[in-house]
């Protein structure tokens, strides 16, 4: 099969052995489109402790047509058009039994720990696919591929973890990123007022068109001062973080007494400091979050089918130009998702 693989010398498009025939409980999907996430940059550049077997097929997000179905699979047949959840759980550990599949002790991600979606074929557990909902106009394959990782991540952060309520104010950093954009839209669905930031005025204008209530340019404006002015000096109830070191102090300065900060990433660096006296005095809650569970996946796919949460695409590239797609992501030039057409 044709695939984008990581080798000792970097990424290349080449032919590799087909993804294995599906075992019990698995399906093999003919991938039509894959989508990039920041994770793909981390994988390309080498995650600490991760030693993939080369050549390693990259790509976490994808969508396509079920091609082969293994034994013991219910409800999925060959020819089904499916979205793929890249988070693979063992469905056996105590967290999985409690329904918390992204807390699985054996949790792995397509494209990071396992062969990914940027290939003509990928084999995954049948519990990781969902039928592509019928929408009008129909979802493109690129939109379908772009849906899962960021929407699932943002849903869990905003709804399950931070429990954003109608009337609350939410600050979302870096609106060009897929998780941030999804978080903004989900917070709006929850009835919140949303303040978003970017260093790019064009992205901020686009964000207003997509529902942002207030936009701040974090290169030219002092975010914490602006946020405090916008909230009667109180700060916001919820901060959605995935930037880390570069924004952490500002995030805390924006947080109201009793506020919640939820983070799923550290794109600018993982090490931050906190004054514990401020944490307890202000009754803050700091939360981590990664991906989401099967029930959350069902819910976001249902919402997608109801016409909400349709992915915002930035650019779509053919597989042969995947290096341009990576470059665009690396430069942070995008607003929304960057997808790669496999066929
Ligand atoms: Zn588990």
Q: How far apart are CA 84 and CA 76, in angstroms?
A: 13
295: CA distance to ligand 1 center in Å?
15
Long-range contacts of 328-335 (CB under 8 A, 24+ apart): 329/36, 329/38, 329/40, 329/41, 330/41, 332/176, 332/177, 333/176, 334/176, 335/175, 335/176, 335/181, 335/202, 335/203, 335/206, 335/207
263: CA distance to ligand 1 center in Å?
22
Q: How far apart are CA 76 and CA 42, in angstroms?
A: 33
173: CA distance to ligand 1 center in Å?
31
Three-state DSSP at 54 gives coil
Q: How far apart are CA 98 and CA 336, in angstroms?
A: 33
Q: How far apart are CA 65 and CA 77, in angstroms?
A: 10
The residues, ordered by sequence, that sit 6+ positions from 206 with a Cβ below 8 Å of its Cβ are: 335
Q: How far apart are CA 279 and CA 127, in angstroms?
A: 40
101: CA distance to ligand 1 center in Å?
6
Task: Indicate the Cα dihedral angle 273, 40, 102, 62, nearest 10°.
Answer: 150
52: CA distance to ligand 1 center in Å?
22
What is the residue whose two structure tokens read 């976490």? 60
89: CA distance to ligand 1 center in Å?
5
List of the chain residues with pLDDT < 70: 48-52
The residues, ordered by sequence, that sit 6+ positions from 319 with a Cβ below 8 Å of its Cβ are: 2, 4, 13, 118, 340, 341, 342
Three-state DSSP at 156 gives helix
Residue 10: per-residue pLDDT: 92
Of the candidates 119, 95, 123, the residue with the CA atom closest to the CA atom of residue 107: 95
332: CA distance to ligand 1 center in Å?
34
The residues, ordered by sequence, that sit 6+ positions from 306 with a Cβ below 8 Å of its Cβ are: none
Q: State which residues have CB under 5 angstroms from ligand 1, the bound ion.
A: 89-90, 93, 96, 104
287: CA distance to ligand 1 center in Å?
21
7: CA distance to ligand 1 center in Å?
30
24: CA distance to ligand 1 center in Å?
18
97: CA distance to ligand 1 center in Å?
7
Q: How far apart are CA 295 and CA 292, in angstroms?
A: 8
Contact 170, 192 (CB under 8 A): yes
Dihedral sign, CA of 103, 306, 119, 322?
negative
104: CA distance to ligand 1 center in Å?
4
Residue 48: per-residue pLDDT: 66
73: CA distance to ligand 1 center in Å?
19
153: CA distance to ligand 1 center in Å?
18
110: CA distance to ligand 1 center in Å?
16
DSSP structure class, residue 312:
P
Q: How far apart are CA 142 and CA 288, in angstroms?
A: 29
Taking CA atoms, 222 is separated from 185, 243, 335, in Å, by 24, 16, 22
The residues, ordered by sequence, that sit 6+ positions from 151 with a Cβ below 8 Å of its Cβ are: 182, 186, 300, 304, 309, 311
Residue 52: per-residue pLDDT: 67
Dihedral sign, CA of 182, 183, 189, 194?
negative
- The pair of structure tokens assigned to 243 is 């930037």
Residue 53: per-residue pLDDT: 80
37: CA distance to ligand 1 center in Å?
24
293: CA distance to ligand 1 center in Å?
11
102: CA distance to ligand 1 center in Å?
8
58: CA distance to ligand 1 center in Å?
23
90: CA distance to ligand 1 center in Å?
4
Q: How far apart are CA 300 and CA 133, in angstroms?
A: 11
């Amino acid at each position: 099969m044709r695939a984008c693989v990581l080798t000792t010398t970097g990424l290349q498009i080449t032919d590799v052995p087909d993804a294995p025939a599906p075992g019990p409980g698995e399906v093999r999907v003919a991938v039509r489109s894959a989508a990039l996430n920041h994770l793909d940059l981390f994988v390309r550049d080498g995650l600490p402790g991760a030693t993939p077997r080369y050549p390693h097929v990259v790509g976490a997000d994808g969508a396509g047509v079920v091609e082969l179905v293994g034994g013991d699979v219910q409800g999925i047949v060959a020819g089904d058009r499916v979205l793929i959840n890249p988070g693979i759980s063992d469905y056996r550990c105590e967290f999985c039994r409690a329904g918390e599949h992204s807390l699985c002790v054996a949790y792995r991600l397509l494209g990071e720990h396992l062969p990914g979606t940027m290939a003509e074929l990928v084999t995954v557990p049948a519990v990781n696919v969902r039928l592509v909902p019928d929408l009008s106009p129909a979802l493109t394959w690129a939109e379908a591929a772009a849906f899962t990782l960021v929407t699932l991540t943002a849903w869990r952060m905003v709804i399950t973890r931070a429990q954003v309520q109608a009337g609350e104010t939410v600050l979302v950093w870096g609106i060009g990123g897929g998780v941030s954009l999804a978080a903004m839209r989900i917070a709006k669905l929850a009835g919140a007022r949303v303040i978003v930031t970017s260093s790019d005025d064009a992205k901020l204008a686009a964000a207003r068109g997509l529902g942002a209530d207030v936009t701040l340019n974090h290169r030219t404006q002092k975010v914490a001062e602006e946020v405090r002015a916008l909230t009667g000096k109180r700060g916001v109830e919820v901060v959605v973080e995935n930037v880390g070191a570069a924004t952490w102090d500002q995030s805390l300065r924006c947080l109201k007494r009793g506020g919640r900060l939820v983070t799923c990433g550290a794109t600018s660096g993982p090490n931050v400091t906190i004054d514990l006296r401020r944490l307890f005095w202000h009754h803050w809650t700091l939360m981590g979050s990664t991906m989401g569970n099967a029930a959350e996946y069902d819910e976001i796919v249902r919402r997608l089918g109801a016409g909400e949460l349709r992915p915002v695409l930035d650019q779509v590239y053919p597989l042969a130009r995947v290096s341009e797609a990576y470059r665009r992501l690396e430069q942070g030039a995008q607003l929304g998702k960057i997808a790669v057409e496999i066929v």
